[in-house]
Structure 1
Amino acid sequence: MQKQFQVSRRDFVKNTLLVSTAGSLVSNQVLASERQNKNLVPATEGASLHWLSGQAPSTLQGTTWGIPWPKGLVKRETPLAVLQNDTVQNSQTWPLAFWPDGSIKWSAFAIGAQEKLAENWRVKIGQKPQAGKLQVKESQDIIVIDTGKLRCEIAKKGNVIIKSLFHAQQKLVAQNGKLVLQVQNQADGDWAESTQLQGFESTIQKVQIENQGSVRALIKVEGIHQNPQGKQLLPFVLRLYFYENSDSIRAIHSFVYDADENHDFIKGIGFSFDTLLKDTALYNRHIRFVGQNGGVFAEAIQGLSGLRRNPGKDVTQSQFEGKSVSSLPQNIQDLLKYIPAFGDYTLFQGSCDGFDIQKRTKSGYGWIQSASGQRASGLAYLGTPTGGLSLGLRHFWQSYPAQIDIRQAQTDIAQMTLWFWAPKASAMDLRFYHDGMGQLTFEEQREGLDITYEDYEPEFGRPYGTARTSEFFIQTYTATPTHETLSKLSEEIENPPRLMVLSEQFIQARVFGNAISLPNTSTEKHKAIEEQLAFYFNYYQRQIEERRWYGFWNYGDVMHTYDNDRHVWRYDVGGFAWDNSELSTDLWLWYYFLRTGNKDVFAMAEAMTRHTGEVDVHHIGRFSPLGSRHNVQHWGCSAKQLRISTAANRRFYYYLTADERIGDLMREQINGDKTLREVVPGRKIGQKPPQNDPDKKLVSMSFGTDWGALASAWLTEWERTGNEQIKNKLLNSMRTIATQPKGFFHGEGIMEIATGKFAPQPVDKISVSHLSAVFGLTEICFELIDLVDMPEFKTAWLKYCELYNGTDEEQKAYLGKNFKLNLAQGHARLTAFAAYHLKDTKLAQRAWDEFYKGEGGFKKTSTKLTPINPPLVLRPIQEGEVSTNAVAQWGLSAMQCLAYIGNQL
């Protein structure tokens, strides 16, 4: 037998191992020194960093990332410096979360724009950081940011957000940057009455400097869209990020849908600029679009090549490269007025598989088809040889329909508009997809649930309160950028360079439940699990492409269940369609990333976090802040639950990237208990609201999916802000669950909203659900036990972990009854956690037996792929033996069993 190694917080700080003689369990959470990783910085000295892509970028416009620290190591006043090849860099840092003792748990770092970056980056504890020179000045009406390469004036009221934008040589490049919205009164194709189109523009309600330092500044703009008649729709938040020495602005745009989906059909939503072209000849004005694989479409507004009269190679080459054409041969100059100037261009991505570029001379005249392709990068440039502007939308083709317009480039002031939803496409039609099919009574709705797995109730399937976030980039230039520059920029927009800590850092810091281990192929069984983990991720990554799980409202999600008869996922069958985080798909991806550091896993998890946190959740209205259960439409299911909107799914991305929008989404969740009073999640199954509570001080709440979600939100808010009220609610709720006669086995209780305290349950009222622990409760309890010294809570949770898959005799001895529930394979990780903490090798072996037996999951895993080809299907596909629920739970169980009892395999 191997000796057991237990890794305490103090030992991690000292970067040593403590040998325990209390048992023979060995955690796979080995320190980096054992891996002989030469680049790993000892925990007491700082943290090693690596580029997520695997190599350093050639240029950087600035980046922000998060680092976890072991408890007690980094104090609030501890200096932290960012080093590149042992040279201190200009940087800034701020805390993201704190340990209960007040030391920093997570800190964010930012560096500005640079060129010729190195591979070797690290953060050093105790060394003073180098300050940057970014400047922010605020007055009554505007905020001015000067990065050193760009100056931006942001208005604090009115409809214009970016008042003026100057490039490095202080030339005014663009002005009047604002959000634009088009709304029509009926869906495209419904021609019973005339279609009326209304235009809206952004109206600023609040502007604040949300983050300010010498390297990074963040301006948060809140507002709503308003038309000339005063009608308001779609409240928005626009965050503008500025970095030292950067000539680029990163923008995060989020809107909440508050329209009437039966009468307000969104025809287009985007961001528009006026671009200055005054005193520049038409043939010296240039447009660029980046298409697929970095290919660039390049033209001048007034072309000089291909004419009957040749102006000469020097002229045409200069024009093609975007350089100034200072003089023309006289025969060309005399006839220049007869060469048409094309002032309007449009790049339209109508689907994930096709885009086209069209142009016309001006409004009122016909369009000419100019180019086409499959997947445009979504980057456009307009300018002159002395400078210009580019706009680029991240995930342009993935979140189709998208569009970029250039208008009136033949005049002194042109317009560039980046459309997140393309006006050339059909208007958004967010109406519910069926008429209810007679499900008017509770009994009829239960019958419907029984056949299509869809929880239906009138008026519950509305999109009101859902949201959507887009990420785009604004960049200034002092000269026409080369094709290579734009091509590279489009790739950087799609895959922004990111610094990230090594997986060992998560283990050393003991974050996210201490449930992370490094990949291990030391035995055949370990190797088989690693290969199966990789297979499942790769399969879903391929499914996204094969099944075209793309689109404005869909990108980031996966489907729930497969239909082997039709060879399609059940996209049109009630509750079997979009997954909406069911059984912790998000957590599966994030834990897999934490242990592998794989950039493709990060990309998929990031897209899912953006989607599930926005589209699948109601952010305003009667259902706020609850999420919607899996359905044909993301918001369509009438089961509104915290298990979908849970902050547990968002915390990873927030702490790894310091993304403020995700911070907003998690903060929305802290008062979800109040909504549960009015929208009881178990209303068709048995959970009922409290009785005799006229003042609405109480709420009925499950200890699993409800409390687990609230606990994750309360924990996150407490560690982010130190909020004592939230902390007390969390600790009170933990203590009063733990002191129930049978702890978690009571299943639910009545909680006092103000304090978080649960009323005692009768000793014989036992209720156990197979779903309680599979929506983040497991992971948040793992984390709470490692974080909070509350022996009674630890005892109650370990008892639940030990007995859920226990024998009939064990269950009956403790509860007076026994139960057999589903998802035993997924719950093997609970058994493993109990084995680890109880130092019980027999229990550890039982956990692996449960995992391999596969009850409620995969009895036998497979990497088999079956090709299905036309004409049987629309396009060639590969079918695997998978179920999204089972994959997520198998993956989490595999990874967490490896983390806690990997040596017992």
Structure 2
Amino acid sequence: MKNHSFSRRSFIKTSALLSGASYLAPYASATQGIPISSSVDSVALDWLEQPGNSHSDGLTLGVPWPRGAVRENNFILKQKDGKQQPIQTWPLAYWPDGSLKWTGLAIAQPTALDGGLSIAPGQGIQPQQLLKVEEKSSAIHIDTGIMQVQINKSGSKLIENISRGGRTSLRNGRLVLSCQNAVEGESESIQKKEYSSAISVVTLEQSGPIRAVVKVEGTHSSGDREWLPFVVRFYFYAGAESLRTLHTIIFDGEEEKDFINGLGLRFEVPLEDELYDRHIRFAGEGEGIFAEAVRGLTGLRRDPGEAVRQAQVQGKKTPALATFPENVSSRLHYIPAFGDYTLSQTNPDGFSIRKRTKAGHSWLKSGFGKRARGIGYIGGPQGGVAFGIRNFWQSYPAQLDIKNAQTDNAEVTMWLWAPDAPAMDLRFYHDGMGQDTYDKQLDALNITYEDYEPGFGTAKGVARTSEMYLHLLKETPDPTLFNSISNGIASPPQLSPAAEYMKQVGVFGRIWGLPDTSTPKKALIEEYLEDHFQFYKQQVEDRHWYGFWDYGDVMHSYDYDRHTWRYDVGGFAWDNSELSTDLWLWYYFLHTGRADVFRMAEAMTRHTGEVDVHHLGKFAPLGSRHNVQHWGCSAKQLRISTAANRRFYYYLTADERVGDLMREQINAVATLKKVPPTRKVSDKSTWETEDNPNLVYAGFGTDYSAIAAAWFTEWERTGGEEIKNRLMNSMRTIAAQPRGFFTGGSRMDLQTGAFEIQESTRATASHLSAVFGLMEICAELIENIDMPAFKEAWIQYCVLYNASEEEQQEALGRSLGKLNLGQGHSRLTAYAANQLKDPALAQRAWREFFEGKAGYDFHKPVIHELTGPAVLQPMEEGDVSTNATAQWGLAALQCMALVGSYLEK
């Protein structure tokens, strides 16, 4: 067996031979491993899902470009027939040489275009219908060509009005919040208070010509209290009759007395049509629609005639009143007009529709079902508004209200938290059980795996982002159009470059590949990758991992005795990105290009970036380790809030909110001064920095992976020299440590990014260091920055982590002891083998993968269906662990990409 002991002297020689690049001060960007292209052909854009009957007025995506190929922000979009379509583009990221790496791309009316779209550098055409944006001191006016919108810069009304064809269709759009001081059953005196939005800052982020984005920030206000900050973005496209709303709230209340019992967006809809020509629509399950008129003309004792009945049922204008039979027309005022309607989804498996004539009178049960799509409509022949919440039932409790439809001014509320449901309760789930010292807390950790500390299990600072849509329609939609709108809201059509192209470009590191079934063993790996994904996809459904605060996450560990995930056992419950579940899903999407993988990863990104992270308060912007409650763990860490988990969604969709979340992490390392991650388990002298306000202790593993991801991403996005220098100083000073990454950590200068050089030469390693994105971000750093010493230090870590004790002893002066997660770290061995072109290392990587240490033996996942009294309902159970699945999946994907040619058949 070849000895892989690893000295710095031998590595520098090998590295120079491999890279062919000199060591340039101050570390000029290299092209190592990434081909430079002087030109690029057109790039095909594929639908994630074929739009079919799904309406979209506009979409945005990201497109990557080969290094050095594109420098001008000018592009041509063509249909398969060669016809050009207008687009709007902007830079998302740059290569180190200043060429474009990612471009944001906006397309108007994409579902109306012919298939086979492609984009290429060149001078594109201007849209015939421009999006017009006018910013004034008090408001922003937007004209899409179809609808005209006024967004206020102050006050309580975000949207002053929206009109179409000169007719006001919507006005007084504002956020609403209802809060109570206690929960039902715990207090005899429950007091409720209503709040409305109070605008503080409005920013025009994009102004056309195809896409406009307006960001509105503020709080919810009532009297002398302002709380619950919000960030709302409105999205507009040229020629659109709709707008998309991205709504974020950040909880800053007191869990013991602030119980939200209603949260939403409310607006008014002027109505002019006769009551029998006013129509209500709700989208139910599948293609099902609830369709009624405010004043019904069917089922009466006296027949108004088939023409009248059919017109009303179809949502069309009824014949003139003079044509009605006299025995009907003279008695219309006796037919009840139902002005209030509610669609309520208070759990993931049941919705109800009810209606009443007006306040003060009883409700009638109108319909029931399992999962509503969460889309409504109110209007008539002169126009109306369709409105909806994306992921309506998945993010229960949600509700749609229509009120006063029998008057000239109806009111619509899209409730993100339904008033029909119990109030939101964010209190910690236990009283601490006497854990008032670190010793007690560590002792308790040994029984429930929960890292508890008084005051740390707070929801203060966690956030939630939701999507809502408004469509201004010229008349009541027929079933086909209403379903098309509903489907487009539930699953917005999305374009993406093909996986083959993204692989060729080399984005997200050259550590992933495309499906390969060329040998029996590779085919099995692909099969097992699919099996693991499908199991978790089905577990979301079987275990009902849904809800306002939960949707997007999965559970951490399983309890085989109870046949349930350990939802109530300390640190074993919600996963909170533990061991890179997010990365597993995103790299699997890159590998496959599949829509179902994208949608699951999308939901996880929305959740883990918002709910699992504190965005204000003393823990901001750190994330919380896995717990019964997403925010419950006292381990507030960079490894959860890391930008590494968000970069994929940002670059693939150009989503501004995720861009904010990544930027939030740039200075997150400073928070470790207040909340040292190792405060309970290490000597204070290790992380103490009180002697210098500019220093903070950070580990070279989970801390550094997040620090580097935030800084590298910001450098990509801006090309900024200051952030680049901080990043490169951190890399240089890790490489200069006595044992490189094996030094473990050091104190960082927050201003320069440089680590103090440690005096100790004792090598150390943690099994967690490389499994929260360190492998992935180091691969990108090495590809983009020519710093041989850093590359040497990282490859040394990759080689030696899983090496024999003898090899570790020879290279480091001591063995590293019994390290865990050997299977997950096989991808580090594979990376080193690939970089060093070492067949023996490649074969070792595959041995480590198949040995399955702290992972899986190589066999098909054992999945079986549970039925009978052992479970509440039939469901699947598997011999799986989320930690093991995420690490196995990443190891399988990266070993296949890096050393697949060395895998025996």
TM-score band, normalised by shorter chain: over 0.9
Preserved CA contact (<8 Å) 1:57 1:497:
no
- 1:213 is aligned with what amino acid? G
Match in the other structure for 1:82: 77
Q: Tell me how far apart the structure 2 counterparts of residues 187 and 764 of structure 1 sit (CA, whole Å).
A: 57
1:804 and 2:798 aligned? no
CA contact (8 A) 1:580 1:612 kept: yes
Counterpart contact for 2:264–2:417, Cα < 8 Å? yes
- The CA distance in 2 between the partners of 1:210 and 1:749, in whole Å, is 39
Unaligned segments of structure 1, at least 5 residues: 1-19, 23-29, 33-40
Structure 1 residue matching 2:516: 3-state secondary structure? coil
Q: 2:190 aligns with which of 192, 195, 200?
A: 195
- Report the more deviating stretch, 506-515 or 264-273: 506-515
- Superposition deviation, residue 114 in structure 1: 4.8
User: Does the 8 Å CA contact 2:130/2:209 hold for their aligned counterparts?
Assistant: yes
2:315 is equivalent to residue 318 of structure 1? no
Q: Is the 8 A contact 2:689 2:696 kept in 1?
A: no
Q: Quote how far apart the aligned CAs of 1:743 are.
A: 0.2
8 Å Cα contact 1:114/1:245 also seen in 2:
no
The answer as to 2:138 corresponding to 1:141 is yes
Q: How far apart, CA to CA, are the structure 2 residues paired with 1:179 and 1:527?
A: 52
Q: Does 1:290 align with 2:283?
A: yes
Match in the other structure for 1:237? 231
Q: Which residue does the alignment assign to 2:845?
A: 847
Matched, 1:266 2:260: yes
Q: Which residue type is aligned with residue 761 of structure 2?
A: D
Deviation at 1:59, TM superposition (A): 4.4
CA drift of 1:619 comes to: 0.2
Question: 1:9 matched to which residue of 2?
Answer: none
Distance in 1 between residues matched to 2:207 and 2:317, nearest whole Å: 39
Are 1:393 and 1:493, in contact at CA under 8 Å, matched by a contact in 2? yes
Deviation at 1:141?
Answer: 1.4
- CA distance in 2 between counterparts of 1:60 and 1:356 reads 28
Aligned: 1:703 with 2:704: no
| Offset, 1:78 | 4.8
Between stretches 796-805 and 128-137, larger displacement belongs to 128-137
Could you tell me how far 1:128 is from its partner in structure 2?
A: 2.9
Q: Are 1:745 and 2:742 an aligned pair?
A: yes
- Distance (Å, rounded) in 1 between the aligned partners of 2:543 and 2:55: 35
Q: Which residue of 2 aligns with 1:5?
A: none
The one-letter amino acid of 2:529's match is L
Is 1:712 paired with 2:705?
no
- The residue aligned with 1:509 is 505
Report the CA distance shift for 1:661/1:887 in structure 2 as closer, same or farther (over 3 A).
same
Determine the structure 2 residue equivalent to 1:301. 294
The DSSP-based 3-state class of the residue aligned with 2:730 is: helix
Question: CA–CA distance in 2 between the matches of 1:114 and 1:335?
Answer: 48
Q: Is the 8 A contact 2:74 2:89 kept in 1?
A: no
Q: What's the offset of the Cα at 1:31?
A: 13
The equivalences for 1:369-384 within 5 A come to 369-384=365-380
State the distance in 2 between where 1:137 and 1:294 align: 40
Between the aligned partners of 2:19 and 2:294, the Cα distance in structure 1 is 79
Unaligned runs of 5+ in 2: 1-17, 21-32
Partner SS state of residue 666, structure 1: helix
SS in 1 for 2:870: coil
Match of 2:814 in 1: 817
For 1:405, which of 387, 397, 401 is the aligned residue? 401
Deviations 1:644-676 (A, max 9, x none): 000000000000000000000001101111100
1:808/1:558 CA distance change after superposition, 3 Å: same
Check conservation: 2:39, 2:70, Cα contact below 8 A.
Answer: no
Structure 2 counterpart of 1:610, from 606, 613, 625: 606
Residue 637 (str. 1) matches residue 630 (str. 2): no
The residue aligned with 2:824 is 826
Q: Which amino acid aligns with 2:62?
A: G
Distance 2:211 2:325 in 1: 49
Q: Does the residue aligned with 2:480 lie in a helix, a strand or coil?
A: helix
Pair 501,692 (structure 1): closer, same or farther in 2 beyond 3 Å: closer
May I ask how many residue pairs the two structures share in their alignment?
Answer: 866
User: What are the superposed Cα offsets for residues 546-585 of structure 1, whole Å, 9 maximum, x if unpaired?
Assistant: 0000000000000000100000000000000000000000
Of the three residues 234, 248, 260, the one matched with 1:254 is 248
Q: Which residue of 2 aligns with 1:37?
A: none
Q: Does 1:723 align with 2:720?
A: yes
Cα deviation code 1:723-774 (max 9, x no counterpart): 2221111100000001111100011111111111111112423221000000
Distance 2:94 2:401 in 1: 46
For 2:862, the equivalent position in structure 1 comes to 864
Amino acid at match of 1:290: A
CA contact under 8 A between 1:506 and 1:516: conserved in structure 2?
no
Matched AA of 1:323:
K
2:877 is aligned to 879
1:418 is displaced (CA, Å) by 0.2
Task: Write the distance in 2 (CA, Å) between the matches of 1:747 and 1:832.
Answer: 22
> Does the Cα contact within 8 Å between 1:504 and 1:518 map onto a contact in 2?
yes
Write the letter of the residue equivalent to 2:805. Answer: D
C-alpha separation between the residues in 1 aligned to 2:805 and 2:338?
A: 79
Moved more, 584-593 or 136-145: 136-145
Contact 2:77 2:124 in 1 (8 A): no
1:777 alignment counterpart: 774
**Shift, 1:517, TM fit:** 0.7
Helix, strand or coil at the partner of 1:670? coil
| AA aligned opposite 2:275 | L
Name the CA distance, whole Å, in 2 between partners of 1:90 and 1:687.
61
In structure 2, give the amino acid aligned to 1:794: K
Cα distance between partner residues in 1 of 2:183 and 2:561 = 33
Q: Distance in 2 between matches of 1:128 and 1:413?
A: 45
**SS at 1:683 equivalent:** coil
Is the 1:141–1:157 contact (alpha carbons within 8 Å) kept by the matching residues of 2?
yes
Q: Does 1:585 align with 2:581?
A: yes
1:836 paired residue number: 834
What SS class does the counterpart of residue 682 from structure 2 fall into? Answer: coil
Q: Is the 8 A contact 2:342 2:353 kept in 1?
A: yes
Aligned-partner residue type, residue 661 of structure 1: R
* Structure 2 CA distance for aligned equivalents of residues 67 and 853 of structure 1: 39
Matching residue of 1:222 = 217
Do the aligned partners of 2:342 and 2:399 also contact (CA within 8 Å) in 1?
yes
For residues 763 and 120 of structure 2, what CA distance do their matches in structure 1 show?
A: 52
CA contact (8 A) 1:223 1:237 kept: yes
**Aligned AA (1:259):** G
Instruction: Confirm or deny: 8 A CA contact 1:56 1:117 kept in the other structure.
Output: no
- CA 70–21 in structure 1, closer or farther in 2 if over 3 Å, else same: closer
Distance 1:718 1:48 in 2: 28
1:651 is the counterpart of 2:652: no
Aligned pairs for 1:403-442 within 5 A = 403-442=399-438
Q: Distance in 2 between matches of 1:511 and 1:866?
A: 38
Q: Which amino acid aligns with 1:201?
A: S
Question: Cα distance, 1:504 vs. partner?
Answer: 1.6
Q: Distance in 2 between matches of 1:153 and 1:891?
A: 48
Corresponding residue of 2:92? 96
TM-score, reference length from structure 1: 0.94
Deviation at 1:489, TM superposition (A): 1.4
TM-score normalised per structure 2: 0.94
**Alpha-carbon displacement from aligned partner over 1:580-628 (angstroms, at most 9, x marks no partner):** 0000000000000001000000000000000000000000000000000
Describe how 1:475-486 pairs up with structure 2 within 5 A.
475-486=471-482
CA distance in 2, matches of 1:424, 1:692: 51
Match of 2:466 in 1: 470
Q: Deviations over 1:321-366 (max 9, x none)?
A: 1111231322112111111111000000010000000001101111
1:145–1:153 Cα contact (<8 Å) kept: yes
Look up the match of 1:36. none
SS at match of 1:706: helix
Once residues 110 and 309 of structure 2 are traced to their aligned partners in structure 1, the CA distance between those partners, rounded to angstroms, is 34
Distance 2:761 2:34 in 1: 46
How far apart are 1:853 and its partner, in Å? 0.5
Aligned to 1:50, the other structure's residue is in SS state strand
Residue 120 of structure 1: how far off its partner (Å) = 0.5
